[in-house]
Structure 1
């Protein structure tokens, strides 16, 4: 999945910065493209081709349209409320004038109010069928609003003809509302609005012309100006409505992209969680991993207060420990190369890991060709001994195919013992889970004293079997001195002739597949020791093994994966969760390749997001909707809409059309032209200042800085918006007052307006319609809150009402008297109807603004959630990397992070000249005791943890950067030098030019300095703790090794080769307090000033006699040993 570089809003045009990094599978170069290639119209066909925005591919655009319709479906409630308020307006006007003529309009309005109330409840409760709500309801509501207006015209003026000015404001209001609320494409809304406005104008025009035919005093020019003014008002409502639709569409597209980003972040989060869990739990049991993660999240200052290094160690009673060793491994290794051998071990041990799942085994460690695991840890099982024996029998089966394929006498020797263990990790680097206890030592000796091809068990294990297996005397004491000295009675498991339900060697081989089908059983004559005859091994090989003939099931790899998923592995106590995470990872991988699947997941995410009431989970004030958390509210105020330029542009459009209406009504009113010119200039200044922050390159720096300050300052942004509305409103009020002076104070003093000249005083309703357009401009201010909009709308309504009832009262009264002379209908006084209309429209727009505010705050919370998820992804990635880096070398960890590896996949790298060191504490065994005073041995291991941790701390010194800790084996510390991704000079770099001998072997000298530093560190620990621990160190260099990871799902990093074997023998045959090396290593290191003492020839198993030396020190100490300025970890200086 794509990685997100920054948290920023996805933008849709050149008007905004393009810092959004999300890309679609089919559109890697951008999130959103203008449709220039598809012949089918996309977006809005009425817009210029360059402004048609749509997603590519078409399937994504269809998904967006579905999402857009669902989002707009909520706004249908707003349209229902608008219609209900209109019904209330009619009822109010009828109730204010008790007359029988008003009864019919009142009853119609009451019926409409009831219908709208029921519809509101149905929509709010989502009781209407979804198909009906999406396909038929929008057009039905539009038809209902049109019918309401026409019914009002028909019932209100049923005894006379309406004038061309009647209900124009309401028609403009509902036309604009269609763009705000209907969940349809822009082209369809334009068609519906044009039909409604056109029909309204046509009906009023016909009625007006009919009225003109019955009256002699009607001026044809005045009627034409009225109709043109109507068209201008409708055009303004439609134009601003279309702009609002485009702005909302852009906002919804950004929200859609953010939802897609949220989905990807969520999948990334789950993928990271799965990867972290898989890597941790493949190496560590869950209870240890959880404790480590908890400590990793702690504040560093808390860790500094700790007296000791953190140790993760727990005691577990009643477990069974299994040790298994490959017999004949030396012969096998001599018959193949190191690469082939490691590959074979990887395949074999990966198979063992799979076998371990069904009998509930937890693999502890791999030591060369030795494999050991435990049952009953971390969760207790009563059948731990039975499960361990089944595992041992299955391992003996698995090795049979290796014996058949390699034609060598390779076999498996298995030992099992039951008891208690201390399980955990030691040190601070290269964490590997291990177990310690006397019972672990016994289990190891059970394997050493066992018989190839048999499972060797102790008396304590037999006591736990409860007769599940038949056993025979094992006589382990005759083959192992430790068992004889301790008096441990041993047994060998007898394989039942009829086979075992869970599979043993020779009968009913291998695991059952996920389909419940087992491979055909292999039957043969059973050998006395329970192993397979050569003929039986060949039959087992032919019976169906997997790709590398290591005794795999006939099932394909996917089936094996299913076996793993379904088995209740101790490392994954919740198998269903593991299966869910696996399924999620597969969905993530499929989504990246399958666009349709990604879109389906996106649709599911959108539905889930829409079902969550985000604001309910956050504390907000009921009236203002502000967050009660000041920090959250401040953060929201900064995240304002980036469409203020378009909002100010709407104010310019409104001012232009209001001036046009006034110019048509009264071409001789000079005030109109003055206010228009001044107002447009001021609005253009506001618009340019707003655009400067969006297009910084097109404006002077000072203007850009000023614009940016306005954008980021809440009160300045509100003031800027108020100024725009004040300009539009002031222009209307000034024109109204100018009209009164120019037209009302006429030739005959107070006799009334001049006749025959028409003008503004004879058409006062249009100025109330202009005030309605000012309310429309207020709604378009997306950069301010609904409370600011309410304040502005209240001011507009109050100013218009004040003029209507004071300065313009004579004008409205004269207009009503003049109209009443030629109408038999009872008319509501215009000053009341117009002011009430503006008030009802104000309430409607406030309800809509509040709805938009809720949506904006909800989207903001979703955006914050996306950002927080991204932060969690980054934080989890840091934990993941830190954790894996503590288990695997950095270059190896990079290989395993970010992708899922197969069990048999092998990572390996060969090195030509490597140094290897083993350092053990032989007398720690005498120190270790499991008495209660030592908390069952935990306190002893705590001391060992301090020693190993101080050794680990040495690796942080710059001089030892080429040294890699490989692992700890009990109290033995293993490290290597030069094991780096690109071993050049001193183990680092990629130097291709020839190097001197000193540069070539510098890493080996550093390893020798590290061994000497370990001795000094241990001396300091002895000094502080009054102990006398001594190191026995073996070191070998100049040879080649193969480094690799065995088992991709349970990664175990190790190195193999002759150099490793020699270094191990140097340690085991060494003397405490000394560093033993072979002659070849001594010849290299003496050139670096190291001092040696010849020990002599030492017999080494598999190598014969080797001449060895003790490294005693250095004539010229290294920078670490000779620098008093760099104290050792936890060192107590002499002068302190």
Structure 2
């Protein structure tokens, strides 16, 4: 046997906060289990029609169960009558009476199984039920009248309780009002029969009248309670089913979107590993503690593979710098999206994978996703198509732009490194060669190496010798090679407008515990799926659809509920069974209410029937009344407060205490079961006391004397047998109808009640029961009493068995629904995570909003600081890439430090160059009306500079702090590698950093995948500052140096430096000492200062701040 450790769900009160303060009322969850709320919700969700059709199926299932029960009871009655020792002719007539009555009832109701009649004429179900009920009622009463008039037998009715159970529990009557009216008619007929045909005396008339009225009232009330609870369960199940299907619909679509996005970012070779890693991190974030999460977050992903026989294409837009510095942001984004969208579509046509953009550089690889012997031809064809596309854009938009392209064939490493902004990239000697082929090429031509040319059919191209620059390039001539310039006609359909390229749409599921009207998808396929699924919804443990075929022979249904020994439904999963038992009971107040009413009736009947003083009964009366009244007040106090004040009122400590007590009872299965057992125990004890109070010997003496001397018998000397039996049947009904109690426990208690009753009936007080009225001629009275209890037990058991199966099916559905919601949430989070790996965090929501409107997203920033940091002395091999992955991952961890105020955003990593920017998002939280918000990077905790919160130039200082932190991180990594016996040769890595600042444009372009990029003079200048800088130095432009000096940071003038595109400009080095700390300006009073958490607040706000820190 496998032992499964099950943790009991923990409960925490939503009331009674610290120090027992007043509280507010939370009634939202209870509302979800109220009949009127669920009914209105079905109408709001436009489900009433579908619900009615499902309700018809459900009731037909119950009707099929009733046929079995009714047939069994009829056969049992006939068998008992047939086995009587005396068989006069009219006894056979009784058997015929039973068979004919049952046959008429079944025949009348059988037409309901003809689907087209029921669907088109729903009134027939109610009409056939009324006729069947009247047939059963008049058959029972008619038999009593016939035997009284013709044979002198004063018989007691047989089926009053059973017919009421039949009305409320089995007959296909949709309306509760019709059930109640029909139940009242049947009750009135039986009460009238009792008064006019049983010959009651005047002394006992008032008592008998009230006893019969209360008896039928309680059974009708029990039936209405069952119908309401069943309707609540079914409606809740129906709404859950719809939400389940919609969640499944959302999940399928989300997974398709996720797969589409993932496949556009990463090739299939590594997409699965990245996907699994993202999913695991999202799931672990909900399950693990902070230390475990940190351990997982610190684990780096390195998914790098070697790809032989590929062709690398590098493309550069000529005059790109002029383009990004002269065009307005909206026009620039439109141009770039049109241009790169065309390139993406052409790459898709030639099966070439675009790697990424790098400003004016667009590079991709042929033969990477799938090996292709024609990779060289595909790459060159794409290059020719790109030249044709940019020519068309140039002519349409009147722009002075062109394309310079380089293609080389060879081997490369490809994969993902780092922790943040995971992007697919390529490395290798051949990648560097392709890059230099592009840089030394000519606009309008594809510059290829001799290796690539050898894989081409030269008859398809015009071939020219390579450029002179290529012959002088040190990288290309390191392994001497000849280069060539190619041109040719672009292939058909490879030159297309980007407007024809559709966006990848993302619509994420709104996270909500409950389905709202606006959340219902209008998709036709979903509507059809919902309609089909509602038709397939399981109706009960036994199904009797006339059209059902191919029934499964196994005992386990598809919903995970199995039958234990046919009698008890149970889950296959023990944890699920445990959670079902310990679920919260939000309808407990209704069970308490009906128990209270039955308790009052029980006390009244016994107090009226027993004229002798019973001290024990008085004590039990008081205990029962006080306990039930207290439970009723506690149970309904919350509902009363919500009805009168709703949730706005602040309640006193006493009210909060009552709320807490009731909430604990609702959430605790142990407490609910204790209340349930106590109520039934005190009911049965009180009923038993009325029996024990009877002096059996005295009753027997008086009975013999009354029989011998024909005295009138005292009806109040002992308990009344039929009153006791009816009350016992009522208690059995309450035992099964009490909501959210384990079915096995209900059945066990009901069996014990039946067993105790049989002991009283056949052993303790058989004399009294034997001399009461019987229900059939020559049938001993004790058999009549036993049959009534058995009929009640069978009816309530079968009914509750079906309800339990449906309840467990609904619970399983809710459990699956929660899992679907969690899966959908994880999928949504993974989509957002993937988008955040491409876009800055603040851009994701804006991008999705613009995407829904089919608009291009773009922004314009007045002041952004841009940094390029390049790692030097890297050899491209697997060991170096492992080191590169470690270093980039450490750099990415620093981003978490720069997220609170001025966010440092990683833009991309290209090769060994790390690009970041500060100022793309300002996320400064308000700390109060008197708070002065100041920032200070944690890496420089001992500095005393400060700056004002509204100065945009602060982003330059934050960017420089981040750059110094990169240098410190690299220094620590070099020390760690130097101390390693295996990696000591990797400890001589250097870094060269360039920073520039100014006005920047940002936007999202591209068709095959969304690509976020920034453009403007600061981007170009930061790149040039890095490329012309020195190892171990931070080179900045003059504008950035002036800003840093204002903050008190010393900058040394380097001199006039030649920068491509702008000639010579003054540049500066940020002064850093040997310990990698800033050098301050000597005798300089900075105009801007900056500190960390320099906040002036009130005392309360200050204490709250210290707690949060």
Aligned to 1:1069: 1028
Using the TM superposition, give the Cα deviation of residue 199 of structure 1 relative to its aligned residue in structure 2, in angstroms.
5.0
Task: Report the Cα distance in structure 2 between the residues aligned to 1:829 and 1:1113, rounded to whole angstroms.
Answer: 110
The answer to whether the aligner puts 1:344 opposite 2:335 as a matched pair is: yes
- For residue 974 of structure 1, the aligned residue among 915, 918, 926 is 915
| Local SS of the residue matching 2:354 | strand
Query: Are residues 643 and 1021 of structure 1, via their aligned partners in 2, closer, same or farther at CA, if it must alter by over 3 Å?
Result: closer
Task: Report the Cα distance in structure 2 between the residues aligned to 1:1114 and 1:1057, rounded to whole angstroms.
Answer: 32
Cα shift readout 1:410-449 (whole Å, capped 9, x = no counterpart): 2334444444332112222322211123333344345445
Cα shift readout 1:774-812 (whole Å, capped 9, x = no counterpart): 222222211422232223322332333333334543344
Query: Are residues 451 and 951 of structure 1, via their aligned partners in 2, closer, same or farther at CA, if it must alter by over 3 Å?
Result: same
**Aligned residue pairs: how many?**
991
Which has the larger displacement, 309-318 or 696-705? 696-705
- For residue 303 of structure 2, the aligned residue among 287, 309, 312 is 312
Using the TM superposition, give the Cα deviation of residue 364 of structure 1 relative to its aligned residue in structure 2, in angstroms.
0.8
Cα shift readout 1:548-576 (whole Å, capped 9, x = no counterpart): xxx346x6x7xx45xx79xxxxxxxxxxx
Query: Are residues 661 and 807 of structure 1, via their aligned partners in 2, closer, same or farther at CA, if it must alter by over 3 Å?
Result: same
| Local SS of the residue matching 2:28 | coil
CA RMSD in angstroms, aligned pairs only: 5.2
Using the TM superposition, give the Cα deviation of residue 889 of structure 1 relative to its aligned residue in structure 2, in angstroms.
2.9
Cα shift readout 1:920-978 (whole Å, capped 9, x = no counterpart): 24532xx23xxxxxxxx333322222333333344455699754332222112223344
Cα shift readout 1:560-618 (whole Å, capped 9, x = no counterpart): 45xx79xxxxxxxxxxxx99999xxxx99985586999987765665566489778536
- For residue 180 of structure 2, the aligned residue among 190, 194, 202 is 190
Using the TM superposition, give the Cα deviation of residue 864 of structure 1 relative to its aligned residue in structure 2, in angstroms.
2.7
Using the TM superposition, give the Cα deviation of residue 682 of structure 1 relative to its aligned residue in structure 2, in angstroms.
0.7
Aligned to 1:546: none
Task: Report the Cα distance in structure 2 between the residues aligned to 1:157 and 1:222, rounded to whole angstroms.
Answer: 22
Aligned to 1:239: 221
| Local SS of the residue matching 2:327 | coil
Task: Report the Cα distance in structure 1 between the residues aligned to 2:124 and 2:571, rounded to whole angstroms.
Answer: 38
Task: Report the Cα distance in structure 2 between the residues aligned to 1:437 and 1:987, rounded to whole angstroms.
Answer: 40
The answer to whether the aligner puts 1:402 opposite 2:345 as a matched pair is: no
Aligned to 1:173: 162
Alignment of 1:1024-1035 (within 5 A): 1024=979, 1025-1027=984-986, 1029=988, 1031=990, 1033-1035=992-994
| Local SS of the residue matching 1:1026 | helix
Aligned to 2:592: 648
Query: Are residues 58 and 280 of structure 1, via their aligned partners in 2, closer, same or farther at CA, if it must alter by over 3 Å?
Result: closer
Confirm or deny: 8 A CA contact 1:737 1:807 kept in the other structure.
no
- For residue 294 of structure 1, the aligned residue among 269, 272, 276 is 276
Query: Are residues 433 and 250 of structure 1, via their aligned partners in 2, closer, same or farther at CA, if it must alter by over 3 Å?
Result: same
| Local SS of the residue matching 2:411 | strand
Using the TM superposition, give the Cα deviation of residue 979 of structure 1 relative to its aligned residue in structure 2, in angstroms.
3.7
Aligned to 2:866: 916
Aligned to 1:777: 734
Task: Report the Cα distance in structure 2 between the residues aligned to 1:705 and 1:146, rounded to whole angstroms.
Answer: 49
Using the TM superposition, give the Cα deviation of residue 118 of structure 1 relative to its aligned residue in structure 2, in angstroms.
12
Task: Report the Cα distance in structure 1 between the residues aligned to 2:658 and 2:987, rounded to whole angstroms.
Answer: 77
Task: Report the Cα distance in structure 1 between the residues aligned to 2:112 and 2:878, rounded to whole angstroms.
Answer: 66
| Local SS of the residue matching 1:1102 | coil
Task: Report the Cα distance in structure 1 between the residues aligned to 2:582 and 2:998, rounded to whole angstroms.
Answer: 64
Task: Report the Cα distance in structure 2 between the residues aligned to 1:674 and 1:169, rounded to whole angstroms.
Answer: 33
Using the TM superposition, give the Cα deviation of residue 764 of structure 1 relative to its aligned residue in structure 2, in angstroms.
3.9
Aligned to 2:83: 96
Aligned to 2:702: 746
Using the TM superposition, give the Cα deviation of residue 358 of structure 1 relative to its aligned residue in structure 2, in angstroms.
3.8
Query: Are residues 476 and 155 of structure 1, via their aligned partners in 2, closer, same or farther at CA, if it must alter by over 3 Å?
Result: farther
Which has the larger displacement, 937-946 or 96-105? 96-105
The answer to whether the aligner puts 1:722 opposite 2:677 as a matched pair is: yes
Aligned to 1:689: 631
Using the TM superposition, give the Cα deviation of residue 365 of structure 1 relative to its aligned residue in structure 2, in angstroms.
0.4
Aligned to 2:470: 480
Query: Are residues 177 and 388 of structure 1, via their aligned partners in 2, closer, same or farther at CA, if it must alter by over 3 Å?
Result: farther
Query: Are residues 734 and 368 of structure 1, via their aligned partners in 2, closer, same or farther at CA, if it must alter by over 3 Å?
Result: same
Task: Report the Cα distance in structure 2 between the residues aligned to 1:647 and 1:919, rounded to whole angstroms.
Answer: 71
Query: Are residues 339 and 1115 of structure 1, via their aligned partners in 2, closer, same or farther at CA, if it must alter by over 3 Å?
Result: farther
Using the TM superposition, give the Cα deviation of residue 678 of structure 1 relative to its aligned residue in structure 2, in angstroms.
4.9
The answer to whether the aligner puts 1:19 opposite 2:10 as a matched pair is: no
Cα shift readout 1:352-392 (whole Å, capped 9, x = no counterpart): 33444343332210111222223433334455455545544
Cα shift readout 1:283-327 (whole Å, capped 9, x = no counterpart): 333443421243342677699699994311112234343333323
Using the TM superposition, give the Cα deviation of residue 653 of structure 1 relative to its aligned residue in structure 2, in angstroms.
2.7
Cα shift readout 1:663-691 (whole Å, capped 9, x = no counterpart): 8xx86745699959954861551353365
* Larger RCO: 1 or 2 (CA < 8 Å, sep 6+): 2
Query: Are residues 1008 and 391 of structure 1, via their aligned partners in 2, closer, same or farther at CA, if it must alter by over 3 Å?
Result: closer
Task: Report the Cα distance in structure 2 between the residues aligned to 1:1078 and 1:257, rounded to whole angstroms.
Answer: 64
The answer to whether the aligner puts 1:251 opposite 2:233 as a matched pair is: yes
Confirm or deny: 8 A CA contact 2:321 2:1020 kept in the other structure.
no
- For residue 1055 of structure 1, the aligned residue among 1014, 1028, 1044 is 1014
Confirm or deny: 8 A CA contact 1:471 1:491 kept in the other structure.
no
Confirm or deny: 8 A CA contact 1:683 1:727 kept in the other structure.
no
Query: Are residues 1014 and 679 of structure 1, via their aligned partners in 2, closer, same or farther at CA, if it must alter by over 3 Å?
Result: closer
Using the TM superposition, give the Cα deviation of residue 1074 of structure 1 relative to its aligned residue in structure 2, in angstroms.
4.1
Alignment of 1:471-550 (within 5 A): 471-478=461-468, 480-481=470-471, 486-488=480-482, 490=484, 492-495=486-489, 500=491, 502-504=492-494, 510=496
Aligned to 2:543: none
Aligned to 1:617: 560
Aligned to 1:569: none
Confirm or deny: 8 A CA contact 1:364 1:433 kept in the other structure.
yes
Task: Report the Cα distance in structure 1 between the residues aligned to 2:1030 and 2:734, rounded to whole angstroms.
Answer: 93
Aligned to 1:284: 266
Aligned to 2:928: none
Task: Report the Cα distance in structure 2 between the residues aligned to 1:279 and 1:475, rounded to whole angstroms.
Answer: 41
Query: Are residues 381 and 201 of structure 1, via their aligned partners in 2, closer, same or farther at CA, if it must alter by over 3 Å?
Result: farther
Query: Are residues 943 and 846 of structure 1, via their aligned partners in 2, closer, same or farther at CA, if it must alter by over 3 Å?
Result: same
Using the TM superposition, give the Cα deviation of residue 278 of structure 1 relative to its aligned residue in structure 2, in angstroms.
4.9
Aligned to 1:638: 582
Query: Are residues 996 and 598 of structure 1, via their aligned partners in 2, closer, same or farther at CA, if it must alter by over 3 Å?
Result: closer
Task: Report the Cα distance in structure 1 between the residues aligned to 2:731 and 2:605, rounded to whole angstroms.
Answer: 13
Using the TM superposition, give the Cα deviation of residue 835 of structure 1 relative to its aligned residue in structure 2, in angstroms.
0.9
The answer to whether the aligner puts 1:359 opposite 2:350 as a matched pair is: yes
Aligned to 2:1106: none
Aligned to 2:957: 1002
Task: Report the Cα distance in structure 1 between the residues aligned to 2:854 and 2:972, rounded to whole angstroms.
Answer: 40
Cα shift readout 1:85-130 (whole Å, capped 9, x = no counterpart): 3213312322322635444544665688899999999999x99997
Q: Normalising by structure 1, what TM-score?
A: 0.74
Query: Are residues 598 and 729 of structure 1, via their aligned partners in 2, closer, same or farther at CA, if it must alter by over 3 Å?
Result: farther
Aligned to 1:1133: none
Cα shift readout 1:195-251 (whole Å, capped 9, x = no counterpart): 44445556x47xx85x79xxxx88688789767755543332212211222233333
Alignment of 1:100-115 (within 5 A): 100-106=89-95
- For residue 63 of structure 2, the aligned residue among 71, 76, 88 is 76
Task: Report the Cα distance in structure 1 between the residues aligned to 2:312 and 2:108, rounded to whole angstroms.
Answer: 71
Confirm or deny: 8 A CA contact 2:847 2:857 kept in the other structure.
no
Aligned to 2:802: 851
Confirm or deny: 8 A CA contact 1:413 1:453 kept in the other structure.
yes
Query: Are residues 165 and 610 of structure 1, via their aligned partners in 2, closer, same or farther at CA, if it must alter by over 3 Å?
Result: farther
Task: Report the Cα distance in structure 2 between the residues aligned to 1:1082 and 1:1108, rounded to whole angstroms.
Answer: 8
Task: Report the Cα distance in structure 1 between the residues aligned to 2:452 and 2:101, rounded to whole angstroms.
Answer: 85
Which has the larger displacement, 868-877 or 766-775? 868-877
Task: Report the Cα distance in structure 2 between the residues aligned to 1:158 and 1:946, rounded to whole angstroms.
Answer: 98
User: Where do 5+ consecutive residues of structure 1 fail to align?
Assistant: 1-5, 10-14, 23-29, 36-41, 44-52, 511-550, 566-577, 929-936, 1122-1136
Confirm or deny: 8 A CA contact 1:649 1:687 kept in the other structure.
no
Query: Are residues 148 and 1032 of structure 1, via their aligned partners in 2, closer, same or farther at CA, if it must alter by over 3 Å?
Result: closer
